[in-house]
Amino acid sequence: MPRRIEGLQWSHVRVGAVIVLAIVVVVFAIFSVGKLLNLFAKRYTLVTLVESAAGLPSGAPVTLAGQRVGQVAAIEFIAMQHKRAGANIQIVLAISRDVAEQIRADSRAMMRTQGLLGDKYIDISPGSLRARPLQTGDTLPMEPSTDFDLLLAGAAQALDTARAMMVDMRAMTHGLATGRGTLGKLLTDQAAYDDMVATMSELRTTLAGFNDPKGSLGRLAHDPMLYNRLVSAVGRVDSLGAMIAAGQGSLGKLLTGDDLYTGLLGTVNKADSAMNGLAAITGAFRGGNGSLQRLMTDPGLYDQFLKAVVDLQTLVNDVRATPKKYVPDINVKVF
């Protein structure tokens, strides 16, 4: 009977010892975690206003210059009558009073992400000595942060664009491989390749002739005297053009002067007057009753005129044949 009682007492002691040890471990763990997370520190609250708190849970860490100093105590909607531009959500931050001197009026909060796709948290930048420390209930300005949803949407759009470009590149390379287009024919058509090689050979020959100092192009490229003469000739042509533009010389006066134009215009007017006079004479000749008009229209007068011309021609021929016949015999005596 005593052994049984002793056995039961020893087992109870062992169980109690294990329980006590477990309680000690739990208390130590809670104390360590609380110290690490500042769970037992005295806190005060600050408020920050954001447009959206997407991805930020209640209880999310609050850090100051990367060091944890509190947590998100509450996330609440702002009453409609108290809304500000670009602010829909009010975030209450519970922060340790040990760092109250570090958070001042020129401090700024920013919503960050742990890693690329991790949970979000609030990070606060320390203030400067020239600004006052924030008190309980003050508003901490929130800096705009990168919206990873928009970033991922932009990345997805960029991937779609890259995929379309890859499809186009695949179609292009397929066309080249099958001999489509100029480049495709150049890659697959031996005749086109031979033509290109021949063209390159002719171009090489032309360049070789250009580099030859004995040819015209070669002399132009290598002989500075010929180059200087060419420059001088171009300069003279330029000077001549400037003189013509300035109205100097006959050609310049022809292009810019008014005298020649006036004289030419007078000549044209005189020619016009002469043509008008000739037209008047022609009109009078056609519509008048003069000798010329009768000669042109009267057949009898035309026949008589023709007969007179024939008789005159006969007389001229007879004079030429027997000129002595028509020379009078004049005896001149000199006393």
Model confidence pLDDT, tens digit, residues 198-245: 888 888 887 777 676 666 666 666 667 767 777 788 887 887 777 777
- Both 47 and 130 in one domain: the answer is yes
pLDDT, mean of residues 16-25: 82
- Both 74 and 115 in one domain: the answer is yes
| pLDDT over threshold 70, residue 311 | yes
Q: How far apart are CA 157 and CA 48, in angstroms?
A: 33
User: Poorest-confidence range of 62-76, 149-163, 179-193, 250-264?
Assistant: 250-264
- Both 133 and 194 in one domain: the answer is no
- Both 124 and 195 in one domain: the answer is no
| pLDDT over threshold 90, residue 331 | no
Express as a percent the part of the chain with pLDDT over 70. 65
Model confidence pLDDT, tens digit, residues 104-145: 999 999 988 886 667 889 999 999 999 999 999 999 998 877
Supply the pLDDT for residue 312: 77
The mean pLDDT of the chain is 76
- Both 59 and 80 in one domain: the answer is yes
Within a domain: residue 280? no
Contact 122, 61 (CB under 8 A): yes
Within a domain: residue 207? yes
**Confidence band, pLDDT 50/70/90 cuts, at residue 260:** low
Within a domain: residue 194? yes
| pLDDT over threshold 90, residue 92 | yes
- Both 194 and 258 in one domain: the answer is no
Supply the pLDDT for residue 335: 43
Contact 226, 219 (CB under 8 A): yes
Within a domain: residue 95? yes
Supply the pLDDT for residue 103: 93
Within a domain: residue 112? yes
Q: How far apart are CA 138 and CA 90, in angstroms?
A: 12
Mapped to the 3 state alphabet, what secondary structure does 241-264 carry? Answer: HHHHHHCCHHHHHHHHCCHHHHHH
Q: 321 or 124, which is more confident?
A: 124
Within a domain: residue 32? no
Within a domain: residue 75? yes
Supply the pLDDT for residue 148: 60
- Both 67 and 136 in one domain: the answer is yes
Rg over alpha carbons for the chain, rounded to the nearest Å, is 60
| pLDDT over threshold 70, residue 178 | yes
Domain count, the chain: 3
Q: Helix, strand, coil proportions of the chain in percent (round to 5)?
A: 60, 15, 25
Q: How far apart are CA 130 and CA 328, in angstroms?
A: 151
Q: What's the domain range around 106?
A: 42-146
Domain boundary residue among 273, 298, 315? 273
Supply the pLDDT for residue 1: 41
Within a domain: residue 109? yes
Q: How far apart are CA 51 and CA 154, in angstroms?
A: 21
Model confidence pLDDT, tens digit, residues 297-310: 667 767 777 777 77
pLDDT, mean of residues 30-51: 76
- Both 117 and 192 in one domain: the answer is no
Q: 164 or 283, which is more confident?
A: 164
Q: How far apart are CA 5 and CA 7, in angstroms?
A: 5
- Both 198 and 107 in one domain: the answer is no
- Both 142 and 49 in one domain: the answer is yes
Torsion of CA 199, 202, 206, 209, to 10 degrees: 160
Supply the pLDDT for residue 133: 93
Supply the pLDDT for residue 268: 66
Q: 192 or 140, which is more confident?
A: 140
Collapsing DSSP to helix, strand or coil, 24 comes out as helix
**Confidence band, pLDDT 50/70/90 cuts, at residue 283:** low
- Candidates 95, 97, 85, 60; CA nearest to 75 is 60
Domain boundary residue among 122, 146, 170? 146
Residue 63: its H or E element: strand 61-64
- Both 125 and 138 in one domain: the answer is yes
Q: What are phi and psi of 112, to 5 degrees?
A: -115, 170
